[in-house]
Amino acid sequence: MKNYLIIITMLMIGFSADVKSQLVQSNYQGVTVPQFICSGGTTRLPYIFRATVTGLQPNSNYRYYSQACRYTDFGSTNSGAGNPVFINGTNFRYSTSTNLSTAGAYDSLTTDASGNYTGWFGFVNTGNARFTAGNFIYPSITLDSIGNGSTKYRFALSDSIMVLGFSDSAISTSGTGIYGISDANPKNIITLYDNINNTGRPLSMVYAENDGIDASVMTSLVQYYTDSVDARNGRFGTVIPNILPNGVRRINVLRLSDGSVANFITDADGIWPSGTNTVNPHGGSANPLRLSQLDVILTVKNVIAGPEKFSLEQNYPNPFNPSTSITFSIPDNGNVKLCIYDLLGREVSIVIKGNYGKGSYNVSFNGESLNSGVYFYSLDFTGENGQNFSDRKKLVLIK
């Protein structure tokens, strides 16, 4: 009987360890996760997301690597596929191999006093069948047992990401490349939205170059990324779906430190000041969309604390043709409405309207549809704590 109990105990211990190492959807929650990535092969791109790992030992160091799985991987010991992009502070690193015992094939994270960790994770899609157009993948993370190099946990997000195939076809599984030239600081995070209010999940997410990763090891990147994005300060490149009736209407730059919005730019109809039309694109990878500095002004200021008072700055440039930027600050969360009026007081354009958090913002206004002349822009703010603010300034459109 004694030997029998020992055997049963050993079997239970073995079963428990095996269950923990199987891939499950728990203890891993998405914070900011994109909706779309592209298929693999020779059209690869880097992707990034922000997530929280929970339920670990407090104040402990774990080895980990990140990949992407399919629902068919759940319950197995498969971690998925893809090559991880490791982000540790401001250090970016790329690996073509994944294991928890070989230096370079894993990175480390340190939990807080509650046993949680929130940070940036990334991967590059490969030619693996999981990255087939039309599939849905789930970012995954594999961790060891507090630095010993032995796999103990495999977790997956509940947020699925659709895989798009580069194509000029107007179907739901097709995508088009898009890249931008901006003043965003290297290594900050770029998110693209199909609305101006920053609602829902972003269409796609990537970091602003230059990331410091040697491009020679990140093989098979899509051509437009290699030619026009990689290692160029502030540039970014990603993919958007071909079925996109709203187009890209907002681009955020997020702080690498905590994921907060450092700056953003919006466009009311998805047709940007340079003329780039992001509505239902059909360029595939051969004819990617290009956003210029006329479209994307995303300079990030080193702001430690939020603004303490309301302000509406003079637009720049002024006079302008056809686009100008307007900067404002709000010291509280609340509803914001920024409108353009003619000299008769008639509203001719709503630049932004919606709920915004405390902070400083920079938005773009395109006056292509207006005649030359003098106009006014007005900012109206109603704060959550009952604070109201209104101001207006003059701007001049010269065509």
Residue ranges covered by each domain of the chain: 22-302, 306-399
User: Looking at the DSSP assignment, which residues form a beta bridge with residue 179?
Assistant: 237, 290
Q: pLDDT tens-digit profile of 275-301?
A: 899 999 999 999 999 998 766 655 433
Q: How far is CA 350 from CA 92, 113, 266, 302, 339, in A?
A: 40, 46, 12, 29, 4
Q: Look at the block and give the residue holding tokens 């693209």.
A: 192
Q: pLDDT tens-digit profile of 178-199?
A: 999 887 788 999 999 999 888 8
CATH class of the domain whose range is 306-399: mainly beta
Q: How many helices (H) and strands (E) does the chain have?
A: 2, 26
Q: What is the pLDDT of residue 297?
A: 57
pTM above 0.75, yes or no: no
Candidate ranges 7-16, 139-148, 315-324; pick with highest mean pLDDT: 139-148
Q: What is the pLDDT of residue 327?
A: 87
Q: Which residues of 111-132 are buried (b: 16+ CB within 10 A; e: fewer)?
A: beeeeebebbbbbbbbebebbb
Q: Are 80 and 142 in contact (CB under 8 A)?
A: no
Can you say whether the dihedral through the CA atoms of 359, 364, 370, 375 is positive or negative? positive
